[in-house]
């Protein structure tokens, strides 16, 4: 009888080890203190039946692109415009949406700037460079209002933390920055004039278009389709948990590097506002429309030379 129980226990142990070995390892590159870190912290074990995560810290977005292209990681969060540009050269990267949160135009609470027209003659801090997507789209919206922002404002380009310091020190009158930096500024008394979604709506793009998403090789995903699709479903459920369950959010709070409740609440609101509601034909057609607009606005420097969004840019869960 003892031997019988021993063999049963041994069999169960071997089965468990084989089951674990069959799980697909997803090597994911994650920027320190980014929102992907928050989300991964909220994936419970029972949602990860088909995959296990091997998290690789990244210094910045460019480091992520290098890691992905070199094969050091299987997946990062990046821009679908970059994916389309790579596919036009023959690469097989593809994109699945992560967030629609983008950026915002922020001014001091007592600012005399109440509209885009009021920016004329002012100093504008811009996170990124001349080809920043938010900057290109804001210029397009201003152009519809007969305002040429490229000449109407004094432009100051820089990294988001530097741009935040510029407005705090009154060196610029307004800033166009990424959503989480805008959320932190709002907690310190600044106010958003218009956000990325508002800019798109002003340009006639009514569907929610993702700003960033998971990027990975299509050939790799096809070879591990069940695990990849399970990860995306788990990621969505994790985001729902962070937005609806205070216990899950409290666990992720240290990752936000925000000490005060107002900043924490602003970050949670901005993160949750970026949740992907639908991802189907209408949203993908809107992205295609946006691609054409950015192709023209950037003189194809942002998108690459292809006039159309590359086929296969977007991955769809079966």
Averaged pLDDT for residues 112-129: 96
Averaged pLDDT for residues 240-258: 95
Question: Which pTM value belongs to this model?
Answer: 0.90
CATH number of 2-100+210-297: 3.40.190.10
Banded pLDDT at 231 (limits 50, 70, 90): very high
CA angle 70, 75, 77 (to 5 degrees): 110
* pLDDT score, position 14: 39
Q: Hey, do 2-100+210-297 and 103-202 end up sharing a CATH topology, with the first three levels equal?
A: yes
- pLDDT tens column, 53-70: 999 999 999 999 999 999
Share of the chain above pLDDT 90, in %: 87
Domain layout of the chain by residue ranges: 2-100+210-297, 103-202
C-alpha dist (Å) from residue 136 to 31, 112, 146, 150, 293? 25, 24, 15, 10, 10
* pLDDT score, position 48: 72
Tokens of 170: 């009154």
Rounded to whole angstroms, how far apart are CA atoms 210 and 98? 7
* pLDDT score, position 17: 46
Rounded to whole angstroms, how far apart are CA atoms 76 and 28? 6
- pLDDT tens column, 31-49: 987 899 999 999 987 767 8
* pLDDT score, position 46: 74
Rounded to whole angstroms, how far apart are CA atoms 150 and 141? 12
The CATH number of domain 103-202, selected from 1.10.1040.10, 3.10.310.30, 3.40.50.2000, 3.40.190.10: 3.40.190.10
Looking at the predicted structure, is the pLDDT value of residue 20 above 50? no
Banded pLDDT at 4 (limits 50, 70, 90): very low
Q: Tell me which residue of 150, 154, 151 sits closest to 125, measured CA to CA.
A: 154
* pLDDT score, position 120: 97
Question: Helices 246-256 and 225-244, interaxial angle, to 10°?
Answer: 100
Indicate the length of the chain as a whole number: 318
Mean of the per-residue pLDDT values of the chain: 92
Tokens of 44: 């419970």
């Amino acid at each position: 009888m003892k031997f019988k129980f021993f063999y049963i226990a041994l069999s169960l142990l071997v089965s468990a080890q084989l089951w674990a070995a069959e799980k697909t390892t997803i090597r994911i590159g994650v920027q320190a203190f980014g929102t992907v870190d928050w989300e991964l912290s909220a994936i419970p074990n029972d949602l990860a039946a088909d995959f296990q995560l091997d998290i690789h810290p990244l210094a910045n977005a460019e480091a992520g692109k290098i890691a992905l292209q070199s094969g050091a990681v299987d997946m990062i969060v990046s821009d679908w415009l970059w994916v389309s540009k790579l596919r036009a050269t023959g690469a097989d990267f593809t994109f699945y949406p992560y967030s629609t949160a983008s950026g915002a135009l922020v001014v001091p609470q007592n600012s005399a700037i109440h509209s885009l027209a009021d920016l004329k003659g002012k100093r504008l801090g811009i996170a990124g460079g001349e080809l920043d997507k938010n900057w290109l789209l804001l210029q397009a919206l201003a152009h519809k209002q007969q305002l040429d922002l490229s000449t109407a404002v004094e432009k100051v380009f820089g990294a988001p933390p530097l741009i935040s310091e510029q407005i705090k020190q009154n060196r610029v009158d307004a800033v166009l920055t990424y959503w989480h930096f805008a959320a932190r500024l709002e907690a310190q008394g600044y106010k958003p004039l218009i956000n990325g979604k508002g800019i798109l709506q002003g340009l006639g793009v009514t569907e929610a278009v993702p700003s960033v998403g998971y990027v990975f090789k299509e050939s790799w995903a096809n070879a591990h389709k069940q695990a990849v699709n399970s990860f995306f479903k788990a990621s969505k459920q994790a985001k729902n948990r962070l937005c609806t369950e205070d216990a899950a959010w409290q666990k992720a709070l240290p990752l936000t590097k925000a000490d005060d409740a107002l900043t924490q609440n602003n970050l949670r609101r901005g993160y949750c506002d970026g949740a992907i509601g639908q991802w189907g034909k209408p949203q993908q057609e809107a992205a295609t429309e946006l691609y054409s607009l950015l192709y023209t606005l950037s003189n194809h420097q942002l998108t690459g030379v292809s006039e159309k969004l590359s086929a296969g840019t977007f991955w769809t869960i079966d």
